[in-house]
């Protein structure tokens, strides 16, 4: 009995030590440390999600009665009842589950990650959640926001800026491209909301329904340019070296500059203007290697090869010519120095204000040069008339504008600066 108790303590200590080493950063309710670690080298993630039951007495504030599996192993992910769909009595009708940040980070590292739903209970709705609101989906030539898009009855209903697009969806076939680059700027993970268990990327599913989603990288299917048949790894033969072939000599003669700019005619003039062949053409025993190069037996007086400035080149190629600095180059450098693009935008994910009230919003910017105003175009646009945007002011470090509530409801404001953009959710009470 003493040995069994001692053995149990040793096992418990080992488990705690493993958690401290591999899972110290996992939020409460997320996958256990072992699962998060063993999926790091897996090429495909297979996620199985079964929602809680409608009348099973589960605790809707936790993942109680929600079953989740990752690559066949049961995992303990953060979950709760959904608040987006309710019945006539105000009760929730769906469950939510979210990947821990370790899994979200793994997906973000993929070059071209996709979701592929391989199974879904008939008539059920599978929703896609992204509580950092910057992730994008792509199917064919259509794209939109991951958050609040869903699959139901063989159709994918994707949210876009101003509407919802409907696309036919075949289970086990249609791939949904996932782009999280807007949330992982400069390779840094986003700050997931604490009110959602420190997670942001997940799914919603009707009570009693099940779904299976595969997540994998499709970039491996691309052919590397170096493998294409028309490309060759053989380097171009060096010019004016012992490997130079006699067949290059005609090209030397045909590319010689006008007579008045060359050295004395006896060494570089075209054949028809040269001295008698006996004094210019190489002797039979002479090599074709220019004078001065190791292995050459041609003296400078005998050489018919032009000087280094007109080194012969293979047919069909042009010799590089070094020109003096051009004023245009200096102008290009000055123009490049005058540009000050924005490299990063940090904006609030959500603002709340009352109808008729005005709130000032500040967006932090990071630019190439903090001492000068950004040269990027700046746009702040509300997608509906529920709010009014005014008083836009900006420099290289921050952008401020005012938002006034006009009508009750939810809407979105898009901040676009150069190639960077952010979406701000607005709730008008």
Q: What is the pLDDT of residue 418?
A: 82
CA-CA-CA-CA torsion sign (317, 318, 319, 322): negative
Could you read off the pLDDT of 289-340 as tens digits, one per residue?
555 555 555 555 554 444 444 445 555 444 444 445 445 545 555 555 568 8
Between residues 405 and 419, the one the model is more confident about: 405
Strand partners for 409? 428
Question: Are residues 126 and 119 in contact, defined by beta-carbon separation less than 8 angstroms?
Answer: no
Q: What is the pLDDT of residue 13?
A: 53
Could you read off the pLDDT of 159-207 as tens digits, one per residue?
998 789 999 999 999 999 999 999 998 788 999 999 999 999 999 999 9
Strand partners for 167? 156
What is the average pLDDT across 27-45? 51
Q: What is the pLDDT of residue 319?
A: 47
Regarding beta strands 358-367 and 155-159, do their DSSP bridges make them parallel or antiparallel, or are they unpaired?
Answer: unpaired
Q: What is the pLDDT of residue 339?
A: 81
The residues, ordered by sequence, that sit 6+ positions from 384 with a Cβ below 8 Å of its Cβ are 409, 411, 412
Q: What is the pLDDT of residue 310?
A: 46
Find which of 18-22, 245-249, 372-376 is predicted with most confidence, using mean pLDDT.
372-376
Q: What is the largest CA-CA distance in the chain?
A: 113
CA-CA-CA-CA torsion sign (268, 259, 254, 231): positive
**Structural domains of the chain, ranges and CATH numbers in brackets:** 8-220 (no CATH), 342-428 (2.60.40.1080)
Could you read off the pLDDT of 398-409 as tens digits, one per residue?
899 999 999 888
Could you read off the pLDDT of 258-292 as tens digits, one per residue?
444 444 444 444 444 444 444 444 544 444 555 55
What is the average pLDDT across 142-146? 94
Question: Are residues 123 and 93 in contact, defined by beta-carbon separation less than 8 angstroms?
Answer: no
Mean pLDDT computed over every residue of the chain? 76
Q: What is the pLDDT of residue 263?
A: 46
For residue 29, pLDDT beyond 90: no
The residues, ordered by sequence, that sit 6+ positions from 74 with a Cβ below 8 Å of its Cβ are 67, 68
φ/ψ of 310, rounded to 5, equals: -125, 45
CA–CA separation, 394 and 403 (whole Å): 15
Q: What is the pLDDT of residue 108?
A: 94
Question: What percentage of the chain carries pLDDT values higher than 90?
Answer: 41
Could you read off the pLDDT of 200-217 as tens digits, one per residue?
999 999 999 999 999 999
CA–CA separation, 207 and 96 (whole Å): 10
- Of 361, 380, 359, 377, the closest CA to residue 417 belongs to 377
For residue 78, pLDDT beyond 90: yes
CA–CA separation, 138 and 136 (whole Å): 7
Between residues 371 and 99, the one the model is more confident about: 99
For residue 223, pLDDT beyond 60: no
Predicted TM-score (pTM) of the model is 0.47
- Of 284, 296, 283, 286, the closest CA to residue 241 belongs to 296
Between residues 384 and 39, the one the model is more confident about: 384
Instruction: Read off the pLDDT band of 22 (50, 70, 90).
Output: very low
Q: What is the pLDDT of residue 308?
A: 45
CA–CA separation, 296 and 283 (whole Å): 13
Q: What is the pLDDT of residue 34?
A: 37
For residue 234, pLDDT beyond 60: no
Between residues 31 and 122, the one the model is more confident about: 122
Q: What is the pLDDT of residue 196?
A: 95
Structure tokens belonging to residue 330: 């200096």
Q: What is the pLDDT of residue 409?
A: 86
């Amino acid at each position: 009995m003493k040995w069994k108790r001692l053995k149990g303590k040793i096992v418990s200590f080992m488990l705690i030590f493993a958690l401290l080493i591999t899972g110290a950063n996992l939020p409460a309710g997320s996958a256990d440390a072992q699962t998060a670690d063993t999926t790091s080298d897996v090429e495909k993630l297979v996620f199985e999600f079964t929602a809680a039951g409608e009348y099973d007495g589960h605790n809707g504030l936790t993942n109680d009665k929600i079953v989740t599996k990752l690559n066949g192993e049961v995992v303990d992910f953060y979950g709760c009842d959904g608040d987006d769909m309710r019945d006539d009595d105000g009760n929730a009708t769906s469950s939510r589950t979210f990947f821990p940040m370790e899994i979200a980070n793994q997906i973000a590292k993929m070059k071209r990650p996709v979701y592929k739903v391989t199974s879904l209970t008939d008539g059920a709705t599978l929703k896609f959640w992204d509580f950092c609101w910057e992730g994008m989906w792509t199917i064919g030539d259509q794209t939109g926001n991951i958050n609040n898009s869903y699959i139901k009855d063989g159709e994918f209903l994707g949210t876009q800026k101003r509407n919802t697009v409907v696309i036919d969806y075949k289970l086990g076939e249609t791939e949904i491209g996932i782009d999280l680059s807007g949330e992982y700027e400069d390779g840094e993970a986003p700050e997931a909301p604490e009110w959602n268990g420190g997670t942001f990327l997940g799914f919603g599913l009707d009570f009693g329904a099940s779904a299976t989603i595969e997540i994998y990288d499709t970039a491996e299917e691309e052919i590397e340019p170096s493998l294409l048949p028309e490309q060759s790894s053989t380097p171009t033969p060096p010019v004016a070296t012992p490997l130079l072939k006699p067949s290059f000599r005609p090209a030397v003669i045909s590319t010689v500059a006008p007579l008045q700019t060359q050295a004395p005619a006896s060494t570089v003039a075209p054949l028809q203007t040269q001295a008698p062949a006996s004094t210019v053409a190489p002797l039979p025993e002479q090599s074709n290697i220019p004078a001065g190069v190791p292995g050459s037996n041609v003296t400078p007086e005998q050489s018919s090869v032009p000087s280094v400035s007109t080194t012969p080149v293979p047919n069909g190629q042009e010799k590089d010519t070094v020109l003096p600095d051009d004023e245009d180059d200096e102008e290009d450098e000055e123009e490049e120095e005058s540009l000050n693009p924005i490299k990063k935008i940090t904006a609030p994910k959500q603002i709340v204000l009352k109808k008729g009230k005005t709130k000032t919003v500040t967006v932090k910017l990071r630019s190439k040069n903090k001492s000068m105003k950004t040269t990027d175009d700046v746009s702040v646009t509300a997608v509906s008339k529920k709010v009014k945007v005014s008083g836009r002011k900006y420099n290289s470090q921050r952008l401020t504008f005012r938002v006034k509530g006009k009508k009750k409801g939810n809407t979105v404001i898009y901040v676009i600066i150069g190639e960077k953009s952010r979406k701000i959710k607005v709730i008008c009470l």
